[in-house]
Amino acid sequence: MSSRRLAAAALTAAMLALSSTPSRVTAADDAPRPIRLTDAQRKALGVEWATPEPAEAGSRTWPATVVAPPSEAQWIATPVTGLLAALKVEANQRVSAGQPLAIVQSPEVAQAIADWRKARSRSLLAQREAVRQRALVDEGVVAPARARQADAEAEQTRADLDAERAHLRLFGLDERALGALPAGAAMPMELTLRAPVSGVVAELPVAAGQRLEAGAAVARVVRTDRLALEIRLPAAEALRLRAGSPVRDTSGRQIGTLGPAPGAVSMAQTVDVRARLAAGAMPWLLGQSVEVRLDTGRSGWRVPRSAVFRLGEAHWVLVERGGSLVPVEIELQAGEGESQVVRGPLDAKARVAAGNVAALKGAVTGLGAPAGETAPGSRP
């Protein structure tokens, strides 16, 4: 018989022996059980060994996008129905607070000014009449009730004037400038929309010449001194991060802090974690793609990826103890090429099985090595 056939026969015998050992795990067990291997079985299975190496807490680079927190963005809308006569800015342009963004033409502007003028005139007349009636009461010419009635009418006209002033403020019109208009001058029909804060024009969903309804959005301005990062992470990685953890640039300098992990996972099993950038930390632009470093967590042990296998929701390695292979549950920390950083009851003197782990997994579970299944990183 050839040497290849002898090796195959030995491997088959070893697996049969392993699966028939009294310590094997039944399908109803929750965890794998230790197994004993003879030297011949180890040789037939091609077991290789590795020693865990201490791994200090490190960091890993992840892609991110510069975004604006919802609280730092403001939409500017037209308060009137009219024609968008002109746009004074472009998308992605930096603007200062009070800078003109757009001009809207509408007869509602002229009507608002006319209503304000009427209310102002009525209020002035009512105030004068109230003063005259009080003087007549003091002289005993009229009854006090006439003065009280005049005061009530003056108060009502003041309230009407305040309402029209609020209307002007909503339109962004200056009451003092309007009051300086000469008598008989044409009523203004243009309304200037201005930036409420300094920042960047993130969106301009309209075009000059377009007819707008009252309340239609004209621009979105985002403050650039309070930007954030949106970091896309695998769900398993995001669960190991804590809110408030530092976010660093590629040189290791802290530039922000992590926010809380979201409660939903995408179809690709990823989550978008937000991080608040420190003011002036980086000269990044809204929408820019960048790279940041996140701490990988606590210190642990570095083992070959091929040594780790999964059973249910848990991850395991096989450690040699007293002549047996003992399954040890571990917690994954971070992957580093062909290595995997884990946390668990390991030490620097342990011997961890790192070769043909798929077959060994079948032995410790008592189910044999399932067809086509391999341990993470193991070679066929």
pLDDT of residue 319: 92
Q: Domains in the chain, start-ordered, CATH in brackets? A: 35-57+299-365 (2.40.420.20), 60-70+226-295 (2.40.30.170), 107-188 (1.10.287)
Q: What is the mean pLDDT of residues 138-142?
A: 85
Q: What is the mean pLDDT of residues 318-346?
A: 84
CA–CA gap between residue 245 and residue 259 (Å, rounded): 8
On the question of pLDDT at 153 being above 90, the answer is yes
pLDDT one-digit tens code per residue, 98-115: 999 999 999 988 888 888
Of the candidates 301, 282, 275, the residue with the CA atom closest to the CA atom of residue 52: 301
pLDDT of residue 296: 67
Task: Give residue 284's Cα distance to chain centre.
Answer: 17
CA–CA gap between residue 274 and residue 277 (Å, rounded): 10
DSSP state of 261: P
pLDDT one-digit tens code per residue, 294-306: 876 667 888 998 8
Q: Which amino acid is at 187?
A: M
**Cα angle 322, 303, 317; round to 5:** 50
Q: 0.75 exceeded by the pTM?
A: no
pLDDT one-digit tens code per residue, 243-291: 888 898 888 788 888 888 776 777 777 888 889 888 777 788 888 899 9
Tell me the CB-side half-sphere exposure of residue 91, using CA atoms within 13 A.
9
CA–CA gap between residue 19 and residue 368 (Å, rounded): 7
Q: What is the mean pLDDT of residues 86-105?
A: 93
DSSP state of 73: E
Q: Which residues contact 165 (CB under 8 A, 6 or more apart)?
A: 116, 175
Task: Give residue 270's Cα distance to chain centre.
Answer: 12
Q: Which amino acid is at 106?
A: S
pLDDT of residue 90: 93
On the question of pLDDT at 195 being above 90, the answer is yes
234 or 291, higher pLDDT: 291
pLDDT of residue 367: 57
Classify burial at 71, counting beta carbons within 10 Å of its beta carbon; exposed 0-12, middle 13-18, buried 19 or more: exposed
On the question of pLDDT at 24 being above 80, the answer is no
183 or 166, higher pLDDT: 166
pLDDT of residue 340: 84
Contacts within 8 Å (CB) and 24+ apart, 21-28: 24/363, 24/364, 24/365, 24/366, 25/364, 25/365, 25/366, 26/366, 27/366, 27/367
Comparing 182-186, 225-229, 286-290, the range with the smallest average pLDDT is 182-186
